[in-house]
Chains A and B, each alone.
Chain A
Amino acid sequence: MKKTLLAILGASLLFGAISANATPEQDRKELLDYFKHKSPNVKFDDYVNGAFIYNADALNQYNSIMEFPPFYTVVDQGKKMWETPFKNGKTYASCFPDGAKNIAGRYPYFDEGLGKVVTFEMALNSCRKANGEDELAYDDMGTMGVLTSYARTLSDGMRMNVRVEGAKAVAAYEKGKQHFYSRRGQLNFSCASCHVHQAGNIIRTEYLSPVLGQTTHWPVFRGGETLFTLQKRYEGCNKLVRAVPYKSGSEEYNDLEYFHSYLSNGLPMKASVFRK
């Protein structure tokens, strides 16, 4: 009896807490409306093209580079890494349903057992560990970065489908949201300052991309050759405002990626693309 009462009380408290804030779906819809209003001519799927949606010349350049990407040898190298068996003879593909086809859009997810957010990169490391291999460093573009440049292409075309369900998942999402909307660094910007409020505007000579579609196409090759993972980009954007960056693979960034990715739900994935 006592237990049920507590459970009901708990549930109603929880309900109150969630409805006081916006739900993840309300957050996403609100931003969608905001960007629809801001750029009525941009089609939803085109948000994966980031800042290029605001600049026809840059989009043309992007499209022509993507016909023969100068970085295809790197992606090929990633394919070799993906296909090379571990010492025990198994491969990465054995760790995922359907050989990891159309799976990356479900990451990050909240793992109730672990009590934390799990990124696709963490799943790759779990796979290595389960097969007796050393883990790769999350900030090592030459190993983890290259591996994902192929592994993520197996999910090209799938629509981003991140779920936030249950109180703990919502709490992690809220932490990411807080990172996104908090001003930081000596220059006193939030992520939202640049990628919501100023999205589509030009900072010196560069268009600012909208938050919608920012998580669908990683890693990117900046200048056509330098590989950046999403969390490496977080580091760069933290440094831009002279804030001390967190580490790739930190819980802070994983929670940020969780929130950030949810906002791109419904958009088509396409890994390993050109960026300026």
Chain B
Amino acid sequence: MRKSPTLLLAASLAGMLLATANGYAQEQQKPAEPTGQELAFNNAKGNCLACHMLPGDPKAVTNTNIAPPLVGMKARFPDKAKLRAQIWDATKANPMTVMPPFGRNLILTEQEIDKITDYVYGM
């Protein structure tokens, strides 16, 4: 169980956490059509930055060390559908994970998950 961080792949965490460091996402967010990056940063949506570093995106402000950094994603997930599945419900691959099941628990819509998957896959 203590080893689980290495198993915790991809995206994000707790919503409404720490308003700090979220200014960027809120400032940039156009309510109509948020981008994958905006969805990933927004603490009411993906909130990936609560638990993942995103070293490939200079706009990402976080000091977290909870889950592995989102980097080299194409090498880690040759099959993009597996990355999407991980975001949709990480507890399937690892029941002990603290990664919220974004699809299963309706935290994000299917379309939002697609956008975040695309964004993260480019990291």
Contact = CB atoms under 8 A, between A and B. Distances in A.
Interface of A: 186-189, 193-194, 197-198, 201-206, 239-242
Q: Give the bracket for the number of chain B residues in contact with chain A.
A: 20 to 34
B15 A202 contact: no
Interface string B76-106: 0000000000000001000000101100011
Top 8 A-B pairs, shortest CB-CB distance: A187-B100, A193-B98, A204-B50, A204-B18, A186-B105, A201-B66, A202-B64, A202-B63
Given A204-B18, A204-B50, A242-B15, A187 B66 contact: no
B49 A204 contact: yes
A189 B105 CA distance: 12
B111 to A, nearest CB: 18
Interface of B: 1-2, 13-18, 20-21, 43, 49-51, 61-66, 91, 98, 100-101, 105-107
A197 B94 CA distance: 15
B85 to A, nearest CB: 16
Given A186-B107, A187-B107, A203 B20 contact: no
A203 B100 contact: no
A28 B20 CA distance: 34
A30 to B, nearest CB: 14
A204 B64 contact: yes
Contact of A205 (B16, B63, B106): B63
A203 to B, nearest CB: 5
Given A194-B98, A197-B2, 16 more contacts: A187-B14, A187-B15, A188-B91, A188-B100, A193-B98, A201-B64, A203-B13, A203-B14, A204-B21, A204-B43, A204-B63, A205-B20, A205-B64, A206-B18, A239-B16, A240-B17
